[in-house]
Structure 1
Amino acid sequence: MARIALKVDVDTLRGTREGVPALLSMLDAVQAQATFLYSLGPDHTGWALRRVFRPGFLKKVSRTSVVSNYGLRTLMYGVLLPGPDIGRKAAAEMRAARAAGHECGIHTWDHVYWQDNVRERDPAWTRRQMQNAFARYVDIFGEAPPTHGAAGWQMNDEAFRQIDDWGMAYASDGRGTAPYIPTVGGVACHHVQMPTTLPTLDEMIGVDGLTEDNVHEAVLRLTEGAGGMRDHVFTLHTELEGGKLAPVFRRLLQGWRAQGHELVSMATCYRHIDRTTLPELPVTWGAIEGRSGELIIQP
């Protein structure tokens, strides 16, 4: 069967301190590898409450328990409480993932600030945010990050150029069906985009009768038969699969093992890609079912 790259987005201080250790235990139990992508600067999760007027946001919130998933204290960061510096307070938990043999990389500097602003910001702002994350990663791990996965699947042209300037061979900044080489202003980038190919659990729960009890079955149907003959990228979140949705993720891991899939990092998946066969596709925005707003998609 094929490979499933497990891409772990780490958005918050709570997700780093509590979700990362929980996921490390689950992954170790089935001898799975993953790529942990860290938010490295301030946790301003409370700023996300401003999305209340975004189309689809309230519908999504009504399907998922935001308070139980993120915790009331986290939702106050940036609103009633100062945003804690994740990289300063949880560096040990970050390094623990690498010590366990997993790949680590950059998610963002300030998750909500990036997600809600990057599409309209200029190159200077973009470079500052990304360089802040890069510098903090080097401070924590003592080496340059191998990959990047954008917060909220939000990017702009300059962000793709920065990934090239860092010399990264691959990244996972959007949604799609298969690896491709992005083009910016008609010019092909040097790196490969490995988009998230499977829906996330929070996009599925509460839709078409799917619950925490049966959503894993819907995901597994996407990776069996013909769907299981190609590689996939599955994005999970420490705040969800490392918390309330841990039982769901355990069932998924067991189901993928039963289907015969390799559970790997993005690095391992990339090593099996033939770059010469990849299409060059322009950076494109679009909507994904179950998620509010637009994000980077594969055209």
Structure 2
Amino acid sequence: MSVIALKIDVDTYRGTREGVPALARLLEKHDAPATFLFSLGPDHTGRALKRVFRPGFFGKVTRTSVVEHYGIKTLMYGVMLPGPDIGRREAEGLRAIRRAGFETGVHTWDHVRWQDGVADADEAWTRRELVRATERYAEVFGERPTVHGAAGWQMNEAAYRLQAELGYTVASDGRGEHPYWPCNAQGEVIGPVQLPSTLPTLDELIGLDGWTVDNVHEALLARTRDLAPLHVYTLHAELEGQKLAPVFERLLRGWRDQGYRFATVGDCARQLDLSALPRCPVALGTIPGRSGTLVVQQAALA
């Protein structure tokens, strides 16, 4: 059977408060399982504005109306306003998602800090950030997390090794085509099994090639028309959980009409023959519609 794993990245305080419950209601309406990955520390979204000097970033935020989707207040957190502690202030809301039957996991501690800093960070920095998020998750949910999805699809080799050390069993940290074992250049497996995002995100498509909020679902449905065993679609509480909810609902209906069923990242991982998965070196690359580099699946080792 063909499956689409729905992976929800929750980046901000507003996304946690408003987008997450709205998405939960929409998913329940369509009887669609999903994995919610939470940012668990301070919301410092405003500090991301320094990316304006990154090639391609200004064009992306212009196309996707960042102010409209995130709000002025969110864009001031960490710059002109103190960043609210998401995991502490919204702990009950996070637990409500788990009680509703959805899978939960870790996205990051400080989204902007991880996305902008981890690629060049050392082991000590990486350990501090990942341990903070892991411990906060355990504090909120009363158990250790097993699912991880990196903020901004950004990682380093130490982060993969720490995932294994901290008890994560499945991750969706990058972009790619199929599940694999992350390894170093020597072929040593360094982290848990990876289920990369296989489809573009809405903000990578809207405003390009004639795609608008009214027809962008057609771009994604065209990519899934030929049924595949597994796709992983990453959506955002700040986008599909708010103003782009109608687009997401059209996708849910369209994918079901194409013959897909929905599942969590963890459920998909449990169905895999892990011994048959390829080993792929970890590396950064580029993705159309997104500025900068991010984790991109590499060719499998022989």
User: Which TM-score bucket, shorter chain as reference?
Assistant: over 0.9
The match for 1:285 is 284
| Structure 1 stretches lacking a partner, 5+ long | none
TM superposition shift of 1:218: 1.0
Distance 1:129 1:260 in 2: 40
Distance 1:254 1:71 in 2: 29
TM superposition shift of 1:114: 0.6
* Paired residue total: 297
Give me the TM-score of the superposition, normalised by structure 2.
0.97
The match for 1:78 is 78
Deviation sequence 1:81-128 (CA, Å, 0-9, x none): 011100111112211111111100000000001100101111001000
The match for 2:97 is 97
Distance 1:258 1:185 in 2: 42
The match for 1:195 is 196
CA 1:126/1:185 → structure 2, altered by over 3 Å: closer, same or farther?
farther
TM superposition shift of 1:190: 4.8
Alignment of 1:105-116 (within 5 A): 105-116=105-116
Deviation sequence 1:107-154 (CA, Å, 0-9, x none): 000000110010111100100000000110000000011110000000
In percent, how many aligned pairs have the same letter? 60
Alignment of 1:178-189 (within 5 A): 178-184=178-184, 186=186, 187-189=188-190
Give me the TM-score of the superposition, normalised by structure 1.
0.98
Distance 2:59 2:12 in 1: 22
Distance 2:273 2:167 in 1: 18
Is the 2:145–2:167 Cα contact (8 Å) retained in structure 1?
no
| Structure 2 stretches lacking a partner, 5+ long | none
The match for 2:28 is 28
Distance 2:62 2:14 in 1: 22
My pick for the range that moved more, 106-115 or 257-266, is 257-266
Is the 2:127–2:159 Cα contact (8 Å) retained in structure 1?
yes
Is the 2:10–2:16 Cα contact (8 Å) retained in structure 1?
yes
SS at match of 1:19: helix
The match for 1:215 is 216
Distance 1:185 1:287 in 2: 20
Deviation sequence 1:197-221 (CA, Å, 0-9, x none): 0000000001100000001011111
Distance 1:27 1:179 in 2: 24
TM superposition shift of 1:271: 1.7
The match for 2:176 is 176
Q: Residue 32 of structure 1 aligns to which amino acid in structure 2?
A: A
Q: List 4+ stretches of structure 1 deviating above 6 A.
A: none
